[in-house]
Chains A and B, each alone.
Chain A
Amino acid sequence: MNLKYTKNPEKRSLPLMQGLAVWMKKNLFSTPLNSAISLVLLGLLFKALGPLFYWLVVNSTWEGTAQTCRHNDGACLVFIKEKFVFILFGFYPRELLWRPVVAISLFIGLCLYSRDVKRWNKLLLWRWLKLILLCAFLLKGGLFGFEAVSMDRWGGLPLTLILAFIGLIFSYPIGILLALARTGSLPLIKALSVSYIELIRGVPMISLLFMASVMFPLFMPDGIVLPKLLRAQIAIIMFMSAYMAEVVRGGLAAVDKGQYEAADALGLMYWQKMLKVILPQALKIVIPPTVNTAIGMFKDTSLVVIIALSDLLMTTKTSLKDPKWLGFSVEAYLFAALIYFIFCFSMSRYSKRLEQVFSYGGRS
Chain B
Amino acid sequence: MEKFSQKSPWQQFWYDPKKRGYFFQFLVFFAIFGLGTVLVTNTQENLARQSIASGFSFLGQEAGFEISESSIEYWADDSYQLALFVGILNTFKVAIIGNFLAIILGIFVGIFRLSPNWLLSKLSESYIELARNIPLLLQLFFWYAVFTEIFPDVKESLNPIPGVFISQRGFFFPIFKEHFIWKWVWMTFIGGGLLTYGTSLFLNKLREKTGEKKSLLPFGLLFLFVVPILIWFFGGAPHELDIPQLGGFNFSGGMTLTPEFVALMLGLVIYAGAFNGEIVRAGIESVSRGQWEASQALGLSRWQTLRLVVLPQSLRVIIPPMTSQVLNLIKNSSLAVGIGYPDFVAVANTTMNQTGQAIEAVILIMGVYLFFSLSTSFVMNRYNRSQQLKERGA
- Chain A residues in the interface with B (C-beta under 8 A): 27-28, 30, 34, 37-38, 41-42, 45, 185-189, 192, 199, 201-207, 210-211, 214-215, 217-222, 270, 295, 299-300, 302-303, 305-306, 313, 316-317, 327, 329-330, 333-334, 336-337, 340-341, 344-345, 348
Contacts and interface: CB of A to CB of B under 8 A. Distances in A.
Contacts of B28: 188-189, 192
Given A28-B119, A207-B345, A215-B362, A220 B42 contact: yes
B180 interface: no
Interface string B97-135: 000000000000000000111111001000001101111
| Interface SS, A side | helix
B25 A341 contact: no
A79 B336 CA distance: 27
Interface in B363-387: 365-366, 369-370, 373-374
B134 A189 contact: no
B359 interface: yes
Given A28-B118, A188-B29, A210-B349, A305 B369 contact: no
A344 B130 CA distance: 10
Contacts of A30: 116-117
B32 A192 contact: yes
Contacts of B338: 305-306
B137 A305 contact: yes
Contacts of A217: 46
A214 B369 contact: no
B24 interface: yes
Contacts of B115: 37
A341 B332 CA distance: 19
A336 B138 CA distance: 8
Contacts of A215: 358-359, 362
Nearest to B353: A214
Interface stretch (B145-153, B202-210, B307-315): B145-153
Listed from nearest, the 6 A-B pairs whose CB atoms lie closest are A329-B145, A27-B118, A344-B133, A214-B358, A202-B373, A204-B331
Interface in B200-223: none
Contacts of A270: 17
Interface of B: 17, 21, 24-25, 28-29, 32, 39, 42-43, 45-47, 49, 115-120, 123, 129-130, 132-139, 141-142, 145-146, 148-150, 327, 331-332, 334-335, 337-338, 345, 349, 352, 358-359, 361-362, 365-366, 369-370, 373-374
| Interface SS, B side | helix
Nearest to B141: A333
Nearest to B371: A202
Contacts of B136: 299
A266 B137 CA distance: 52
Contacts of B345: 204, 206-207
A330 B345 CA distance: 26
Contact of A41 (B29, B116, B119, B133): B119
A334 B141 CA distance: 11
Contact of B45 (A45, A211, A222): A222
B135 A300 contact: yes
Contact of A340 (B21, B24, B135): B135
B360 to A, nearest CB: 10
A191 to B, nearest CB: 10
A313 B137 contact: yes
A235 to B, nearest CB: 11
Contact of A207 (B29, B32, B139, B369): B369
Given A41-B119, A188-B28, 11 more contacts: A28-B119, A37-B120, A185-B21, A188-B25, A189-B25, A201-B373, A202-B373, A203-B370, A204-B365, A207-B362, A218-B46
